[in-house]
Chains A and B, each alone.
Chain A
Amino acid sequence: MALLLCAIFSSFIVLTILGFLSYFMAPVVVNGEFRELLGTIWNPASNSFGIVPMLIGSLCVSFTAVILAYPVATGLSFYCNGIGPRFLGNKLRTLIEFMVCVPTVVYAFVSAILLAPMLRSMLQHGSGFSWLAASLTLTMLVLPTIFLMINASMREASSKFRVLALSLGMTQAQTLAWVITPQAKRGFKAGLILGLGRAVGDTIISLMLAGNAAQFPDSVLDSVRTLTAHIALVVATDPNSLAYQSIFFCGLLLCVISAMTNLGLKMVSK
Chain B
Amino acid sequence: MIVVRDARVSVFLVFIFLVFSFAAHAGELDRFQGMDGTLDIAGGTAHIPVMKEAAQKIMTFNPKIKITIAAGGSGVGVQKVGEGLVGIGNTGRALSQAEIEKFGLKSFPFAIDGVAVAVNPENPVTELTSSQVQDIFSGKIKNWKDVNGKDSAINLYTRDEASGTREVFWDILLKKGPVDQSANVVASNGAMKLALSKDPNGIGYVGIGHVDKTIKAITLDGKIPSQENAADGSYKVTRKLYMNTKGEPQGLTKAFIEYVKGPDGVVFIEKSGYIPLK
Task: Tell me the A residues contacting B by CB distance below 8 Å.
Answer: 41, 43-45, 112-113, 116-117, 120, 126-129, 207-208, 211-215, 222-223, 225, 232-240, 243
Chain A min CB distance to B199 (Å) = 6
Given A112-B194, A237-B162, A213 contacting B184 (CB threshold 8 A)? yes
A-B contacts, 16 listed (Cβ < 8 Å): A45-B170, A112-B194, A112-B195, A113-B198, A120-B199, A126-B155, A127-B155, A127-B157, A127-B199, A127-B201, A129-B195, A211-B185, A213-B184, A214-B185, A225-B185, A237-B71
- How many Å lie between the Cα of A25 and that of B277 in the bound state? 43
> Which chain A residues border B161 with CB–CB below 8 Å?
44, 233-234, 237, 243
- How many Å lie between the Cα of A222 and that of B153 in the bound state? 14
> Which chain A residues border B155 with CB–CB below 8 Å?
126-127
> Which chain A residues border B160 with CB–CB below 8 Å?
212, 233-234, 236
State whether A213 touches B201 (Cβ < 8 A): no
- How many Å lie between the Cα of A41 and that of B73 in the bound state? 24
Any A CB within 8 A of the CB of B76? yes
State whether B181 touches A215 (Cβ < 8 A): yes
> Which chain B residues border A44 with CB–CB below 8 Å?
161
- How many Å lie between the Cα of A243 and that of B161 in the bound state? 9
> Which chain A residues border B76 with CB–CB below 8 Å?
238, 240
- How many Å lie between the Cα of A233 and that of B166 in the bound state? 13
> Which chain B residues border A243 with CB–CB below 8 Å?
161
> Which chain B residues border A112 with CB–CB below 8 Å?
194-195, 198
Chain A min CB distance to B198 (Å) = 5
Contact of A117 among B153, B176, B184, B199 (CB under 8 A): B199
State whether B71 touches A213 (Cβ < 8 A): no
- How many Å lie between the Cα of A208 and that of B178 in the bound state? 24
Task: Tell me the B residues contacting A by CB distance below 8 Å.
Answer: 45, 71-73, 76, 153, 155, 157, 160-162, 170, 176, 178-179, 181-187, 191, 194-195, 198-199, 201-202
State whether A236 touches B184 (Cβ < 8 A): no
> Which chain B residues border A113 with CB–CB below 8 Å?
194, 198
- Who on chain A is nearest to B194 by CB? A112
Chain B min CB distance to A69 (Å) = 25
State whether A208 touches B71 (Cβ < 8 A): no
State whether B201 touches A239 (Cβ < 8 A): no
Contact of B191 among A127, A208, A225, A236 (CB under 8 A): A208
Question: Which of B71, B183, B184, B201 has the largest count of A CB atoms less than 10 A from its CB?
Answer: B184
State whether A117 touches B198 (Cβ < 8 A): yes
State whether B72 touches A239 (Cβ < 8 A): yes
- How many Å lie between the Cα of A79 and that of B153 in the bound state? 45
- How many Å lie between the Cα of A169 and that of B14 in the bound state? 71
> Which chain B residues border A207 with CB–CB below 8 Å?
187
- Who on chain B is nearest to A212 by CB? B185
State whether B185 touches A233 (Cβ < 8 A): yes
- How many Å lie between the Cα of A208 and that of B157 in the bound state? 12
> Which chain B residues border A213 with CB–CB below 8 Å?
181-185
- Who on chain B is nearest to A232 by CB? B187
- A127-B199, A214-B185, A238-B76 are known; give 11 further A-B pairs, CB within 8 A: A43-B181, A45-B170, A112-B198, A127-B155, A127-B202, A212-B185, A213-B181, A232-B187, A233-B160, A236-B160, A236-B162
- Who on chain B is nearest to A112 by CB? B194
Contact of A214 among B181, B186, B191 (CB under 8 A): B181
> Which chain A residues border B185 with CB–CB below 8 Å?
211-214, 225, 233
> Which chain A residues border B45 with CB–CB below 8 Å?
236
Chain A min CB distance to B47 (Å) = 13
Contact of A45 among B176, B187, B198 (CB under 8 A): B176
> Which chain A residues border B73 with CB–CB below 8 Å?
238
- How many Å lie between the Cα of A235 and that of B187 in the bound state? 11
The 6 closest A-B pairs by CB, nearest first: A236-B162, A212-B185, A127-B155, A233-B160, A211-B184, A237-B162
- Who on chain A is nearest to B45 by CB? A236
